[in-house]
Structure 1
């Protein structure tokens, strides 16, 4: 059987489903119309979705890492750091997409640890019982989170990192999709944040931009019209307020281009470049 062809219209429909409507039945109806049949739609769907079976690029039992599950007074997380590292480590909070602390985000956390950081993959769905296995359920729960409390919880995670005996007192945050938007919001309120990296995340309210203290690196996908609509105004506000920031737009790639578990949207070239820029940015600002 030939590999199904995934068009931009199919990707756009999936993006609308996972970020705007959350209506699976309507999405499948639209996907069926775009592909020509229910069977074709069923074949395309796994290429659009994030497949957890492919989520592990760094083994969970990698001998180079020390890994632990933590519970910070009800806020759960997944911590990875390089084993036997000399000296104290810069620390980074990893903030998930709107599907919660998935195996993919755990993998990103381990990958960051191999770069020389102590990384904490947070589960922001902890107040609602933690990340469920069902992604649709996770997206529904994300919508029930209190925005102000979520930012407050982020500060608790960051404070824990900043005071950790293995950390050097410098804390960064990186987030993807929903998590990228959280990085922007956290930056407007956090006292503990020393550097932030947002991947295709919604911009912070422009009125709050003057309160940002930490330098920001903002990664955007060239084909991500929904998120990119806010870039110009956000950039202007950051510039007017004299903030330290850099914006990178990766032409011809889709929202979630960093997620290597989504075959149709992942772009290795853009992901590798964004990752290298991110690591270098954190090393420069968290030393």
Structure 2
């Protein structure tokens, strides 16, 4: 596995987007969309895991317009700061930046077979919104708090989508998750998995206040199977 620095240019400027390559040197593209803590050690670990599966992974700096290359700490003070930084983030502009990132990733010589997107928390919402705007091979959305309020976009999404939620998430009430379950019921391209014992950000192994190993392991196994089926390497 190898990694390199890349950047994406849009009308307002340029933002960083590191790239991780699989051992094979090529494969499908995977846009990895950060949480509110930025492209930090946790996102790097996930990128390396996805690259080990055979994907060419790109993790764009979503906050470049408000706090370039911001990386927050996984503690109470870091959470407060990350919430403040994310409060200055404009979602619609961010979706446009991600669409440009998809185009850049798809154009890399190492990307051989389509591009998918996977996001956590804020990134889970952004991956979903991105799927309604651009063509993707597959999307995985982990506990996106903006999903329940944007269910009207489901008809605009043609690619396979996998949603993950925690059934005990204090930031996304269970009744909101139930709305997603109802909305996707019967849709052939969408599946949803709720870890009833999972809270928010349960997959983030570098956030002691959130990480829950068992729900995380179950959800990641489902993710790998979904990607292997819908965006095979």
Q: Which residue of 1 aligns with 2:154?
A: 209
Q: Is the 8 A contact 1:180 1:201 kept in 2?
A: yes
**For 1:92, what is the secondary structure of its paired residue?**
strand
Q: How far apart, CA to CA, are the structure 1 residues paired with 2:178 and 2:166?
A: 14
Q: How far apart, CA to CA, are the structure 2 residues paired with 1:119 and 1:209?
A: 25
Q: Give the Å deviation of 1:133.
A: 4.3
Q: Which residue of 2 aligns with 1:79?
A: 19
Structure 2 counterparts to residues 1-16 of structure 1, below 5 A: none
TM-score normalised by length of structure 2: 0.86
List alignment gaps of at least 5 residues for structure 2: 73-77
Q: Which residue of 1 aligns with 2:75?
A: none
Structure 2 counterparts to residues 160-175 of structure 1, below 5 A: 160-175=104-119
Q: How far apart, CA to CA, are the structure 1 residues paired with 2:216 and 2:30?
A: 19
The structure 1 segments of at least 4 consecutive aligned residues displaced by more than 3 Å after TM superposition are 133-138
Which of 146, 152, 177 is matched with 1:231 structurally? 177
Number of matched pairs: 219
List alignment gaps of at least 5 residues for structure 1: 1-64
**For 2:58, what is the secondary structure of its paired residue?**
strand
Q: Is the 8 A contact 1:213 1:243 kept in 2?
A: no
Structure 2 counterparts to residues 170-185 of structure 1, below 5 A: 170-185=114-129
* Residue 114 (structure 1) aligned with residue 59 (structure 2): no
Structure 1 or 2: more helix by fraction: 1
Q: Deviations over 1:241-269 (max 9, x none)?
A: x4511111112221111011123432222
TM-score normalised by length of structure 1: 0.71
Q: How far apart, CA to CA, are the structure 2 residues paired with 1:199 and 1:187?
A: 14
Q: Is the 8 A contact 1:92 1:173 kept in 2?
A: yes
Q: Which residue of 1 aligns with 2:93?
A: 149
For residues 90 and 226 of structure 1, do their structure 2 counterparts lie closer, same or farther at Cα, with a shift above 3 Å needed? same
Q: How far apart, CA to CA, are the structure 1 residues paired with 2:18 and 2:61?
A: 8
Q: CA RMSD, aligned part only?
A: 1.9
